[in-house]
Chains A and B, each alone.
Chain A
Amino acid sequence: MRLKLVLELLDVPGQLLDALNPIGRLGANIVAVIHQRDVKTERGTVPVQITIEGDKDTLNEVLNLLEETGIEIIEVDGILRKEKITTILVGNIVDQDLKDTVNLLNKIEGVMVADLDLKMSEHPEKSASRIVIEAQQGRKKEVLTKIKDIGNLKGFLVINEV
């Protein structure tokens, strides 16, 4: 079977090779590679389209290995894998145990906190935190509701995306 992947690579020398090497090593065939360095994502990374061929188990192994080595897979056969959800919390973030907040978020199925930015205020109850969450495609609505619940639990104002 064939799989069309879109990987997201940093725009530095050797990245493409690092991504392709394990594929061959696991015994999958590389059918096509489309690499346009001048097309970039908003984060400045380069999306690379790769079509690979092999049996199902091998292809799964390839996906796992790519993810393990920290290579971002954005799309598999035209389906986006993850979406980023940004949310801002206002309140006494530190006193309300930041680690626990992150854990609660991570406990939501298919959700991982990818980035966190904290801004302290002179008044601790007015501190703000921006949290970027990666969630499985199509679960945004559910994730947003869960974030609101966590906010209510801890007395935070939750500012979600529209």
Chain B
Amino acid sequence: MKICLMGLGSVGQGVARVFQMKRDEIKQEYGLDLDLVAALDRSGAAINPEGLDLKLLLETKKLTGKVSKYPEYGEEGVSGLEVLDRVEYDCLIEVTPTNIEDGEPALSHILKAMGDGKDVVTSNKGPLALKFSELARTARDNGVKFKYEASVGGAMPIINFAHETLSGCKIESIYGILNGTTNYILSRMAKEGSSYEQTLNEAQEMGIAETDPTQDVEGEDAACKVVILANSILKMDVTYADVEVKGISQITPESISLAKKEGYLIKLIGEVSPDSLEVSPRLVKEGSPFAVEGTLNVATLKTDLADEVTVVGKGAGSIETASAILSDVISIWKTK
């Protein structure tokens, strides 16, 4: 399988690393040859129809920060759409940074690949949160596979889990902690009694929160995931603007200690149900499935037959997220 990897940030590098680690195993187990024929970042691309050397790719990126410096096959300034036109590939892995204004450049990449009859795997929430129905329709019209397990909950299985493992059930609602950064901050505040600002600084120093933490702490990231779950699992037709969003920046140590007194914790919860799409700080019982700490994600799916099913897993991390992408690639391969 010839693969084009768009984006070589934390997730993209994780994908390259996971391919490197698992290549032989996957070949043996599934007869699948993972051939990375192109990799792109802001600087340009590395393209080799015979397959790129993953070790060299990762080293080049680490040393120079630019994939275009890849020996011999590196090209500066070449655009994503151009590469998709020039390169022969079977599957696009789109992992450029999430943009929730217009979903670009990922949206154009994905639509182009689908239009050209290529399968697409992505972790990119922007296009999914803004144009879900268009993407699903384009994939269907072109007869290609479109998988996005990594876009929600990182390594926590939820989308394929609902579609496949719970395929006989109707999913009525989903409640979950869908953002690891805010869960880390709220867990630390509850434990240490520290202020929001202080804890955010600590999380930034540890690399858990980004320098501009807005997407996480204002609930935007979780809201994107709510949209994805609503569309893909509850079969609703909604977009980012339909979600009521409140973040955690107003949470105070006082409110956390009041909650604790009554046996509650405060968590940023995403709610997906036919009559409510919401991201907001909520009270959850200590000892309940939602009382997870650190950067963990959790989701409870309410179903008609199986009652409640809860999944927990690492919501972020380079290798963890790449694991979900790899699963999607393998599952596409299995249908061939």
Contacts and interface: CB of A to CB of B under 8 A. Distances in A.
Genuine A/B complex: yes
Interface of A: 86-88, 90-91, 117, 119-121, 126-130, 132, 157-162
Interface residues of B, number: 22
B282 A159 contact: yes
Given A117-B258, A119-B255, A128-B258, 7 more contacts: A88-B259, A88-B266, A88-B283, A90-B250, A119-B258, A121-B252, A159-B280
B78 to A, nearest CB: 47
Given A86-B262, A159-B259, A159-B266, A121 B254 contact: yes
B252 A130 contact: no
A143 to B, nearest CB: 14
Contacts of A87: 283
Nearest to B267: A162
Nearest to B256: A128
B2 interface: no
Interface in B257-294: 257-259, 261-262, 264, 266, 269, 271, 280-284, 290
Contact of B252 (A117, A128, A161, A162): A128
A130 B290 contact: no
B312 to A, nearest CB: 16
B155 to A, nearest CB: 23
Q: Classify the secondary structure of B's interface with A.
A: mixed
Nearest to B264: A86
Contacts of A158: 280
Contacts of A117: 258, 261
A162 B259 CA distance: 13
Among A86, A119, A159, chain B packs the most CB atoms within 10 A around the CB of: A159
Given A86-B264, A159-B282, A160-B282, A130 B251 contact: no
B281 A157 contact: yes
